[in-house]
């Protein structure tokens, strides 16, 4: 089977020939290009060629099914070394969203890292409410189809479609440091904004996703036991995703979220919300949740894409413990249903690439379906 066929089999809850093994290599690859330390056997080769030689596949995360468009406002871009600012000018006021955007980050992270959050005062809420009401999502399905064809058998596209309103508010609009203070200081403004953002997405974004040719939809990032604890998850996140997941399931689509945080206290909530996959699922020793705990909570209902915390690829992680950890993964996932082996969340610039190759050897040795404990 190809990696594409294996991933589709997992999505359909069918048996692949072996456990799919798809690692994210861009950070490691770009670092080697920049520092001139690319191993001799990979020099002059593109990232997909390197992945094939290592025995892993293409995460295929660059497909698009829509482009964002604003009406009735102006977005003025201001850039200086290391910082990109977007100033949203509307009839009801202005707000600025600033991002750290170094050369390295800019190539690897779509939005960069938040530096200046657009909502800082009570009056900023009405501005972002106006922006939300004047945001549109224009389909670009042909672009996606071309991308899927280009990916071919190396993988299957996972299409990023944003975040739920509540977590987008926490992470991007106000910031983790201040968001919960804002919810107390400006409760009416906060609740109103959540209603407006959800209504706009349901009316304009959801139909574009549902009618698209994409099947694997990534919507939601970085849910964490501390920052989105269970009681708030149930109140502000679960209802949104229950409705979205039902819509997508009715169209034969699967809903995933980017799970490289500690979700130990959220395992039940994620399942209840209707998610089909936890992508880049992060486990101990990087965070407290274990692969065994997740398998026990989710069974076959939530596909895990992960199992290899990036820390075990680092030079200071003992080789014997690395080997033992990987063998433990195969024991935890047996017989291999609803599982894609991957690194959470990236093969880092300092990772030992030889360990990526070693994982491929272990997949060949132990990953044939059905996986049997050893």
Please give the order of strands across the beta sheet that includes 158-160: 158-160, 216-221, 254-258, 277-281, 303-309, 339-344
Q: How far apart are CA 164 and CA 27, in angstroms?
A: 26
Q: How far apart are CA 158 and CA 104, in angstroms?
A: 23
Q: What are phi and psi of 158, to 5 degrees?
A: -110, 120
Helix (H, G, I), strand (E, B) or coil at 21: strand
Residue of 146, 140, 158, 135 whose CA lies nearest to 67: 140
Q: Are 195 and 231 in contact (CB under 8 A)?
A: no
Full set of structural domains in the chain with CATH: 3-66+137-366 (3.20.20.210), 72-133 (no CATH)
Residue 86: CB atoms within 10 Å: 16
Encoded tokens for 196: 């407006």
Q: What are phi and psi of 263, to 5 degrees?
A: -105, 25
Helices (H), 55-178: 103-108, 124-133, 141-151, 165-168
**Cα 78 from chain centroid?**
28
pLDDT tens string, the chain, 374 residues long: the values are 999 999 999 999 999 999 999 999 999 999 999 999 999 999 999 999 999 999 999 999 999 999 999 999 999 999 888 888 999 999 999 999 998 875 554 344 344 678 899 999 999 999 999 999 999 999 999 999 999 999 999 999 999 999 999 999 999 999 999 999 999 999 999 999 999 999 999 999 999 999 999 999 999 999 999 999 999 999 999 999 999 999 999 999 999 999 999 999 999 999 999 999 999 999 999 999 999 999 999 999 999 999 999 999 999 999 999 999 999 999 999 999 999 999 999 999 999 999 999 999 999 999 999 998 77
Residue with token string 């694997």: 216
């Amino acid at each position: 089977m190809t990696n594409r066929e294996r991933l589709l089999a997992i999505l359909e809850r069918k048996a692949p020939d072996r456990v799919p093994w798809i690692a994210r290599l861009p950070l490691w690859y770009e670092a080697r290009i920049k520092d001139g330390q690319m191993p001799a056997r990979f020099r002059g080769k593109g990232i997909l060629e390197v992945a094939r030689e290592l025995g892993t596949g293409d995460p295929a995360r660059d497909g698009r099914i829509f482009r964002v468009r604003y009406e009735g406002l102006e977005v003025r871009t201001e850039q200086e070394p290391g910082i990109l600012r977007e100033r949203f000018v509307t009839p009801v006021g202005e707000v600025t969203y600033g991002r750290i955007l170094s050369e390295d980050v800019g190539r690897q992270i779509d939005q960069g890292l938040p530096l200046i959050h657009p909502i800082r005062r009570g009056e900023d809420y009405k501005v972002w409410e106006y922006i939300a009401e004047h945001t549109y999502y224009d389909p670009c399905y042909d672009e996606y189809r071309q991308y899927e064809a280009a990916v071919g058998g190396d993988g299957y596209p996972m299409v990023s479609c944003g975040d739920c309103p509540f977590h987008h508010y926490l992470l991007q609009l106000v910031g983790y440091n201040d968001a919960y203070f804002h919810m107390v200081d400006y409760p009416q403004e906060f609740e109103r904004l959540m209603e407006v953002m959800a209504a706009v997405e349901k009316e304009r974004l959801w139909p574009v996703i549902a009618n698209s040719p994409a099947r694997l939809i990534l919507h939601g990032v970085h849910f964490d036991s501390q920052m989105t604890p269970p009681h708030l998850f149930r109140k502000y996140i679960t209802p949104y995703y229950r409705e979205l997941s039902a819509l997508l399931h009715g169209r034969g689509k699967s809903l995933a979220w980017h799970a490289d945080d500690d979700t130990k206290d959220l395992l039940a909530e994620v399942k209840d919300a209707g998610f089909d996959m936890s992508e880049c699922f992060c486990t101990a020793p990087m965070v407290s949740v274990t692969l065994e705990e997740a398998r026990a909570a989710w069974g076959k209902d939530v596909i895990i894409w992960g199992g290899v915390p990036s820390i075990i690829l680092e030079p200071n992680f003992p080789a014997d413990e690395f080997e033992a950890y990987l063998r433990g993964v195969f024991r935890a996932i047996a017989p291999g249903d609803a599982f894609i082996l991957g690194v959470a969340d990236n093969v880092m610039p300092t990772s030992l690439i030889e360990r990526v190759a070693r994982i491929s050897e272990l997949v060949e040795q132990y990953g044939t379906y059905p996986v049997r404990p050893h």
